[in-house]
């Protein structure tokens, strides 16, 4: 076994925009359903993040909607109004007080928003194409002025995050939400400048990125973290292919971003479009653009050995999600040589000990296959 202080993921790292990280581990963004109904951060939510801050160098929050019509989950964080800034500041302060950098993930749910959570009970998207799932609602296609308003709102979200004291933001361009919907030939069948060709489908992701970077320059210091999260492929046909993603990654790598965060369930998983292609999607992206922008790998890295193996593929950074829910002291136990006590399962009796909000606990314990849950 590697000596605990020699794990490469414990080494410091400096992001391209200048932020110095104490190690190479991020807390991955995960929805927790614990904000107040109006989007304000709650005490329960702050306690959850406090418990998981300090070990990882960077804590990325659950997604925060940038407009009222972008709310993708019940009781999620909002960053769409100025009156939410004091609560956001409490969250940023709680994370930073423990010794982690605080990064707010910003997003718009698009056609994935539950109708009851958005104005007029009608989700919006690039085009009026429903997602492929049972009972899915067909969204309304956004007008051009609405598209521009959403782009502007991403910039405003950055202003609010900076005012609240966050160290940075992560643009959520993954997991089938609005930014990905514009990039996807499945959900975007527009015939104007916002859809059609590959170039036109990248226009919205790039416009959001530009708005975010411009807002960071205006409202934050030079080292303000700006990351981008993407999903490598879509199962739908037509849908996003690995070729599409490698091309988009190349374009994004030329932007002054701090990292590209690849959203997959398992670091080593192959193609969801071609069962014969077993190459790690994360490794392919690292190989393509890793020399130009730091890549974050994520997905089922439960033990330090698994995390170290992922790092050996070339990625300079890793993110842990479910791992930090089951074991908030993941980093501390490794640093103190207590790797063998890391919890890699979750007991149905551990909610209080793990400081997990009620709604998230329900999801964790009742979603088959998501977490290894035991009744011990």
Q: Are 8 and 316 in contact (CB under 8 A)?
A: no
Domains, in order of start, for the chain? 4-343 (3.20.20.70)
Q: Is 48 a catalytic residue?
A: no
2 pLDDT band, cuts 50/70/90, is: very low
Nearest alpha-carbon partner for 357 in 31, 21, 33: 33
343 pLDDT band, cuts 50/70/90, is: very high
User: What pLDDT is recorded for position 1?
Assistant: 41
Name the average pLDDT for the chain. 96
Report CA 59 to chain centroid distance, whole Å.
11
Q: Pull the structure tokens for residue 31.
A: 């929805």
pLDDT, average across residues 122-139: 95
What whole-number distance in Å separates Cα of residue 236 and Cα of residue 188? 12
User: What pLDDT is recorded for position 4?
Assistant: 56
Q: Are 105 and 113 in contact (CB under 8 A)?
A: no
Residue that is written with structure tokens 């089938």 in the block: 176
pLDDT, average across residues 292-314: 96
376 pLDDT band, cuts 50/70/90, is: confident
Q: Pull the structure tokens for residue 80.
A: 């769409």
Residue that is written with structure tokens 């999600």 in the block: 321
Q: Beta strand 140-141 with 168-173: parallel, antiparallel or unpaired?
A: unpaired
102: part of which helix (H) or strand (E)?
A: strand 101-107
User: What pLDDT is recorded for position 375?
Assistant: 87
Percent share of the chain, pLDDT over 70: 99
* DSSP letter assigned to residue 260: E
Query: Is 78's pLDDT higher than 80?
Result: yes
User: Which among 7, 48, 49, 177 is annotated as catalytic?
Assistant: 177
* DSSP letter assigned to residue 324: H
3 pLDDT band, cuts 50/70/90, is: very low
Q: What angle do CA 330, 175, 197 make, to 5 degrees?
A: 140
Residue that is written with structure tokens 């992701």 in the block: 205
């Amino acid at each position: 076994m590697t000596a605990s202080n020699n794990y490469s993921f414990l080494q410091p790292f400096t992001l391209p925009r200048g932020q110095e990280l104490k190690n190479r581990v991020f807390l991955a963004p995960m929805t927790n359903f614990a904000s107040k109904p109006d989007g304000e951060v709650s005490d329960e939510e702050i306690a959850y993040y406090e418990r998981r801050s300090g070990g990882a160098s960077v804590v990325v929050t659950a997604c925060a909607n940038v407009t009222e019509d972008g709310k993708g989950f019940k009781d999620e964080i909002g960053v769409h109004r100025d009156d939410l800034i004091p609560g956001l500041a409490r969250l940023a302060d709680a994370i930073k007080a423990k010794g982690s950098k605080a990064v707010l993930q910003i997003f718009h749910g698009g056609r994935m928003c539950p109708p009851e959570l958005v104005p007029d009970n009608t989700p919006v998207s690039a085009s009026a194409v429903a997602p492929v799932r049972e009972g899915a609602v067909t969204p309304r296609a956004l007008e051009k002025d609405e598209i521009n308003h959403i782009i502007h709102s991403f910039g405003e979200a950055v202003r609010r995050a900076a005012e609240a004291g966050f160290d940075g933001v992560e643009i959520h361009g993954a997991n089938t939400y609005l930014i990905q919907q514009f990039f996807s030939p499945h959900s975007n069948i527009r015939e104007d400048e916002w859809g059609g060709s590959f170039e036109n489908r990248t226009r919205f992701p790039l416009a959001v990125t530009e708005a975010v970077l411009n807002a960071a320059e205006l409202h934050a210091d030079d080292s303000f973290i700006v990351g981008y999260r993407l999903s490598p492929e879509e199962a739908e046909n037509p849908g996003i292919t690995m070729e599409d993603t490698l091309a988009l990654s190349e374009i994004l790598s030329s932007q002054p971003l701090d990292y590209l965060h690849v959203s997959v369930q398992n670091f080593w998983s192959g193609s969801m479009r071609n069962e014969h292609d077993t190459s790690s999607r994360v490794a392919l992206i690292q190989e393509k653009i890793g020399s130009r922008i730091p890549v974050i790998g994520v997905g089922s890295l439960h033990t330090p050995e698994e995390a170290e193996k992922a790092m050996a593929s070339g990625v300079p950074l890793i993110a842990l999600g479910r791992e930090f829910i089951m074991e908030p002291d993941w980093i501390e136990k490794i640093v103190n040589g207590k790797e063998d006590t890391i919890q890699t399962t979750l007991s149905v009796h551990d909610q209080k000990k793990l400081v997990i909000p009620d709604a998230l606990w329900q999801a964790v314990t009742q979603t088959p296959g998501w977490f290894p849950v035991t009744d011990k």
